[in-house]
Amino acid sequence: MTLFFGQRRVVRDASTTRAVLAGSVGNFIEWYEFGVYGYFATVIAARFFTPEGGSEAEALVKTYASFALAFFFRPVGAALFGRLGDRVGRRPVLILVVLLMTAATTLIGALPTYATVGALAPWLLTLLRVLQGLSAGGEFGGAVAVMTEFAPPGRRGLYGSWQSFTVALGLLGGAGVAALLASLLTEDQLGDWGWRVPFLLTLPLGLAALWLRLRLDETPAFRRETAAVSPPAGEVARTVALGAARIMGWAAAGYTFLVVLPSYLQSTLDASFQQALIATVLANAGFAVTIVPAGLLSDRVGRRAVMLTGAVLVVLLALPLLDLLQDTGTSNSVKGAAVFGAGAVVGLMAGPGPAMLSELFPTNVRYTGLGLAYALSNAVFSGCAGLIITETVKRTGNVDIPGYYAAATCAVSVLALAGTPKRKAG
């Protein structure tokens, strides 16, 4: 009997480990690519959105518009793939979305530029960004459902935090590859062909993700509850809106500090490409450091306390952070510590966030519900971050716009989170 239960535990632990790995690797690819696109925004703008006589500022705005458009297809993907995932299972849908995501990202690395095919180039790029948005919309809900449904009792916060942790790893991976290329290649080489390398590297990553997901088991919760009655559509819609409001600050502050920062530092504060990437690596390192501890802590004290702390800190510190970065008298080490701290504060929201969203929805609408809440919030407040910040700074000349943006969205999240029941959800 002991041997039987021992074997069963080994099987359960192996399934849980596979669930974390299979869920994480797709998130890594998704955010690696979105990070790379953000880090190379100025290069992409010059190659795809700058016809003869076009200004650099105009091209950058168009690049971020394409970036935002992909985010607005995320809710469509969340609804489409989420519905499939709640009906036929998490596993087959996660296999499908990682195939689409890998194909679209790899093809970006092979696209002809404006100099080669003219006005067709930005349209081809935007088409692939749309495909990425659709597949990414189906990624989050399935990955978080798998992680949290395989989690042991009282450990959803810890297991769900791995989703956010691999977001940080993806952004760091993209920044690391970009920084390495920037150090090894000349500016002309980087612009001619070097920018393609990070996108083409997605192919082997995607094949690894496919292998892991083919070995994934269906979640026990899905197998148990597929026949359960779904809640009314109006109730699901209200819960989706509430979930989106609670993570609004995470979405906006995360993209402001972790992705938009490089082009902001270059275009507004005249930093070099290498300096901007170093700052981004430090911010994402701070983000990565706090995510898993924050998720674990939320299993003990509740999601609300940890996420509220992060949101309030962003409200209080966003503008002082920008003032420090703008101060030419501040040393680089102090500035580096500041951006590291900014990333760490965002991690306090990102760690418990996946489990918080998962716990809002019953199993038979979980894939759809949490995927939509996340996709809607990211579509509006992450996808538009670069476009809003760049265009507003350009029109007003106010270099504090990123701070106002992050603080305002986190203030809304504070209000939404303040009404969250104080409980330790297991």
Please give the pLDDT value at position 344. Answer: 95
For residue 426 the two structure tokens come to 């297991």
Supply angle C-alpha 371, 374, 377, rounded to 5: 140
**Half-sphere CA count of 289, side-chain side, radius 13 A:** 12
Task: Summarize pLDDT for 328-370 with one digit per residue, the tens.
Answer: 788 888 888 888 999 999 999 999 999 999 999 998 899 999 9
**Residue appearing with tokens 């996340």:** 374
For residue 89 the two structure tokens come to 């299972």
Question: CA 231 to CA 236: how far, in whole Å?
Answer: 7
Please give the pLDDT value at position 148. Answer: 92
Please give the pLDDT value at position 64. Answer: 66
Question: Where would I find the H helices in 40-113?
Answer: 41-48, 56-72, 74-88, 90-108
Task: Summarize pLDDT for 70-112 with one digit per residue, the tens.
Answer: 778 989 999 999 999 999 999 999 999 999 999 999 999 999 9
- Which residues, including other chains, have CB under 8 Å from residue 210's CB and lie 6 or more apart? 95, 98, 99, 102
- CA 248 to mean position of chain CA atoms: 12
**Residue appearing with tokens 């669930």:** 19
Please give the pLDDT value at position 289. Answer: 95
Please give the pLDDT value at position 244. Answer: 94
Please give the pLDDT value at position 10. Answer: 42
The answer to whether 360 touches 369, Cβ cutoff 8 Å, is yes
The answer to whether 301 touches 360, Cβ cutoff 8 Å, is no
410 CB burial (10 A radius; 0-12, 13-18, 19+): buried
For residue 179 the two structure tokens come to 């920084």
- Low-confidence spans in the chain with pLDDT less than 50: 1-11, 422-426
Please give the pLDDT value at position 281. Answer: 83
For residue 95 the two structure tokens come to 């296999």
118 CB burial (10 A radius; 0-12, 13-18, 19+): exposed
Q: How far is CA 80 from CA 30, 83, 133, 142, 367, in A?
A: 18, 6, 12, 12, 10
> What burial letters (b/e) apply to 332-356, b meaning 16+ CB within 10 Å?
eeebbebbbbbbbbbbbbbbbbbbb
The amino acid at 310 = G
54 CB burial (10 A radius; 0-12, 13-18, 19+): middle
Run of H or E residues at 155: none
Question: CA 179 to CA 36: how far, in whole Å?
Answer: 10
DSSP string, 156-203: HHHHHHHHHHHHHHHHHHHHHHHHHHHHHS-HHHIIIIITHHHHHTHH
Q: Which domains does the chain have, with CATH numbers?
A: 17-215+233-418 (1.20.1250.20)
**DSSP helix/strand/coil, 271:** coil
In this prediction the pTM is 0.83
